[in-house]
Chain A
Amino acid sequence: MSGNRLIMADWNPNRKILTLKVVFYGPALSGKTTNLIALHDLIEPTLKGDMQVLETKNDRTLFFDLLPLGIRTQDNTLIKLKLYTVPGQVVHNSTRKAVLSRCDGVVFVADSQTSQSENNAASFNNLAENMRLLGLDMQNLPLVVQFNKRDLLEIESETDLNHRWQNTPWKLFYASALNKEGVLETFEELLSQLYLSIEEEFELNSTHGLSEASFIQHITAG
């Protein structure tokens, strides 16, 4: 690992491994783990590890979940992508901060239910605060916002949400992770941003012959 980098993107030239870290953030019970489970089922990357679900209590994540993915470039470089979820409950902020630390991208999973808008806002503010404390630049780090649980009835309308978020730099996605809908689209947008954010530094295209399209393609469909 190189010095005091604030993000993970970590190039190990001896083993030819580039490790990237994406964190699924959001309020308690918004469907972060469900997103990860859906992704595990939906995508077929070159290398797919087993999903590691650490300790849970009443379906609530205590530490984190981890889904390791990997692809190989033409020059046999291994790009490892580690997908983490954070514990959403307010009390686990220290753990949440530790998991968020040095991440290369964030998927913010919000709960669409009208009753949850305050929790969403609190969690998003908590994300902003933790990123500030960890030295992560919220304006420039790859970040996608997903409104999950579109399958439920008492939810905020897309019109309202689009209107509310229109002046922010973040793209909005609508999903039903339980039904595996919208999860892949969210993830692909994140991958696209992630590629752009590291392409230049790690010369993905020029040295490793990896275009944005093939980066996404290899991760999602081998």
Chain B
Amino acid sequence: MDDFERDFTIEELLPSRSRPRLKKALQQMGLRHFLLIDLYDNQLIAHDPIEGLMKIPLAHELEPIAYLLFESDKIERAESAANFIIELLQTNWRYQMASDIHLQVSREDFEALQEKHKLLQASELKYKELSENLENRVQHQLTVIEESQRQLYEAEKMASIGQLAAGVAHEINNPIGFITSNLNAATEYLEDITELIATLVKQDATKQTSLLESRETKALFEDFGDLLLESIEGAKRVATIVADLKAFSNVDQSEESYIDLSQNIEQVARVFLTSVDKGVALNVNSQPLTKTWCKPAHINQLLLNLLHNAANAINPTDTITLSCIMLDEKIKLSVIDTGKGMSEETLRKAFDPFYTTHDVGSGTGLGLTASRDIVNAHHGEINVKSRLGEGTSIEILIPVKSNGSQL
């Protein structure tokens, strides 16, 4: 890289390509014998040189850079030629300085740009790494969230199973209690009957008849029969509860079945009533439905979820209506309560996982989210309408599936 401040040589200021034209110009100015030499007597331009030429210095910057030699009788022409050449040298000098400083500045600017570019690349790399790591970290967090969500989901399921179990235990305890006491009473009655038979054997026919038709004996057999009938009823009730419970067992391994879901409606209503306080007014309105392929255990869980939500939202005077009906080739299930309803804000967030209006600890808020997942798995839709103070209506529409496949 040339420095614009360096001392320029005559070679640079008068390049050889411009010399033939200069030589011609000098001839045209009327010079016949002339020489242009540098400080070391090297000939730059020569035209028919002869001995005894005169010499004019050609100044560049402050000092001579070359000499013009000419015939002594052409001094005026030689002087104007010298001025002409000096102007030519200066013009070239200015051009060279300008181009040199331009190159120098361009190079420095370019280097500065490259330096900036390097820094930019480095920071780009940094951000690239950061973004790659970020993706990994987000993925990791996502896994953690999914894992804890699954755990919470399990916990929620266990909680509802626990709630169910508590209700069921109460329902079964009651008949078991009176069946046991009935059987104890029946044992005592059996002793009375044994005694009666022993007495009868020793009596004659008349006495026997009067004994058998006595008020005490009639009352004994009547009671005994009642005890057994009541116990059979109780055992039937237990059997019904157990049968219903079976529908809720093994929810995760639940199989697809081709069924009329209206049967489930009755079942769910019974299980629901066994697991909530007495006095919840539940109306069941079930119409026969077209048979469909579905996972009944999941539908049961879904409806039970919705019923429990409704039970939490009602006052003693309110009612819950569980119904099913065919609507345009779709099965419409609905749970409608006349309870306290939801605000618009609550309604907007109703399906957000973990959103709950209940006290902390009483529910994880997965109820509606899980319900929606079940509906989605059946390619159905779930719509919630609610108004604060007027109640909530949840409608589920499930398309009928006439051939079984994995849901």
Contact = CB atoms under 8 A, between A and B. Distances in A.
Interface of A: 8, 21, 47-50, 52-55, 63-64, 66, 68-70, 78, 80, 82, 94-95, 97-99
B108 to A, nearest CB: 6
A64 B90 contact: no
A52 B94 contact: yes
Given A52-B97, A70-B62, A98-B101, 8 more contacts: A47-B62, A49-B61, A50-B90, A54-B98, A82-B5, A94-B109, A95-B105, A98-B104
A192 B97 CA distance: 29
28 contacts: A8-B5, A21-B5, A47-B63, A50-B90, A52-B93, A52-B97, A53-B94, A54-B97, A54-B98, A55-B98, A63-B97, A63-B98, A68-B61, A68-B62, A69-B62, A70-B62, A78-B63, A80-B61, A80-B62, A82-B5, A94-B105, A94-B109, A95-B101, A95-B105, A97-B108, A98-B104, A98-B105, A99-B101
Interface in B98-142: 98, 101-102, 104-105, 108-109
Interface of B: 4-5, 59, 61-63, 90, 93-94, 97-98, 101-102, 104-105, 108-109
B57 to A, nearest CB: 12
Contact of A52 (B90, B101, B105): B90
A17 B90 CA distance: 21
A8 B90 CA distance: 23
B108 A94 contact: yes
Contacts of B59: 49
A64 B62 contact: no
A48 B63 CA distance: 10
Contacts of B105: 94-95, 98
B363 to A, nearest CB: 68
B108 A98 contact: yes
Contacts of A47: 62-63
A5 B104 CA distance: 18
A196 B63 CA distance: 26
A63 B103 CA distance: 12
Contacts, number: 46
A94 B109 CA distance: 7
Contacts of B4: 98
Nearest to B93: A52
Given A47-B62, A78-B63, A64 B101 contact: yes
B1 to A, nearest CB: 11
A69 B104 CA distance: 25
Contacts of A55: 98
A47 B108 CA distance: 34
A208 to B, nearest CB: 17
Contacts of B63: 47, 70, 78
A49 B64 CA distance: 11
Contact of A63 (B5, B62, B93, B101): B101
Contacts of B97: 52, 54, 63, 66
A47 B104 CA distance: 29
A55 B98 CA distance: 8
Contacts of A99: 101
A97 B108 CA distance: 10
A69 B63 CA distance: 11
Nearest to B106: A94
A134 B378 CA distance: 77
B66 to A, nearest CB: 16
Contact of A54 (B5, B61, B94, B109): B94
A70 B7 CA distance: 15
Nearest to A81: B62
B62 A78 contact: yes
A134 to B, nearest CB: 12
A80 B60 CA distance: 13
